A and B are shown apart, each in its own frame.
Chain A
Amino acid sequence: AQSVTQPDIHITVSEGASLELRCNYSYGATPYLFWYVQSPGQGLQLLLKYFSGDTLVQGIKGFEAEFKRSQSSFNLRKPSVHWSDAAEYFCAVGPYNNNDMRFGAGTRLTVKP
């Protein structure tokens, strides 16, 4: 069973518009939560992470994410998207069995001029 779900395979937004990428998970307690970004031909870079405390976390490049326990969600947001934000975004959750981290299938972001 898929433990981490990113419902949107591909999203297109206009430059300057706001962005929200969804991440839902199944987990028995409060997990560790991460968002990574992958630019074309590159490895994954950490945007932000949540372990405990304030449920709204700030990351690099102007991104933020909010942990909502009641909805089992950790959605990524940015108020104003830049053309350089075009990339693929992955949510990661864990630890699961044997302390594995699980990655979602990814959301590809296209930014229109």
Chain B
Amino acid sequence: NAGVTQTPKFQVLKTGQSMTLQCAQDMNHEYMSWYRQDPGMGLRLIHYSVGAGITDQGEVPNGYNVSRSTTEDFPLRLLSAAPSQTSVYFCASSPRRVPTGGNGYTFGSGTRLTVV
């Protein structure tokens, strides 16, 4: 089925470890983004990309890196995990940055990350 696929679904890291959260979409969407969801905070934008080779920072980018080498993939890297990065991470895609048409953003099912 078409959509946004995130892996892994769950991950536990020790402080200081690094890891990559994977995100892939098969809808040929130009826009992809990463959000973190924390209780009482809603979804906050970490990084986004408007096309292959183009990325930019969102509201809470510190501690995260991204790259966009293909239209389909948009991995999120934690270089040195901290307990403050414990959260649920969502990847989203859309034909355009502001989803003025269609069905808005398409979200993945999320990655629950715990940093101990």
Q: Name A's B-contacting residues (CB within 8 A).
A: 4, 6, 9, 32, 34, 36, 41-46, 49, 51, 90, 92, 94-95, 98-101, 103-106
Contacts and interface: CB of A to CB of B under 8 A. Distances in A.
A9 B42 CA distance: 11
Given A4-B42, A90-B42, A46 B105 contact: yes
Q: Nearest 6 pairs between A and B by C-beta?
A: A43-B107, A103-B43, A103-B42, A105-B42, A46-B104, A44-B107
Interface in B11-69: 35, 40-45, 56, 58-59
A43 B109 contact: yes
B107 A99 contact: no
Interface residues of B, number: 24
A106 B35 CA distance: 14
A100 B42 CA distance: 14
If over half of B's interface residues share one DSSP class (helix, strand or loop), that class is named, otherwise mixed; here it is loop
A44 B42 contact: no
Contacts of B59: 100
B104 A100 contact: no
Contacts of B35: 103
A106 B109 contact: no
22 contacts: A6-B42, A9-B40, A34-B99, A34-B104, A36-B104, A36-B107, A41-B110, A42-B110, A43-B107, A43-B110, A44-B43, A45-B107, A46-B105, A49-B104, A92-B104, A95-B97, A95-B98, A98-B56, A100-B58, A100-B59, A101-B105, A103-B35
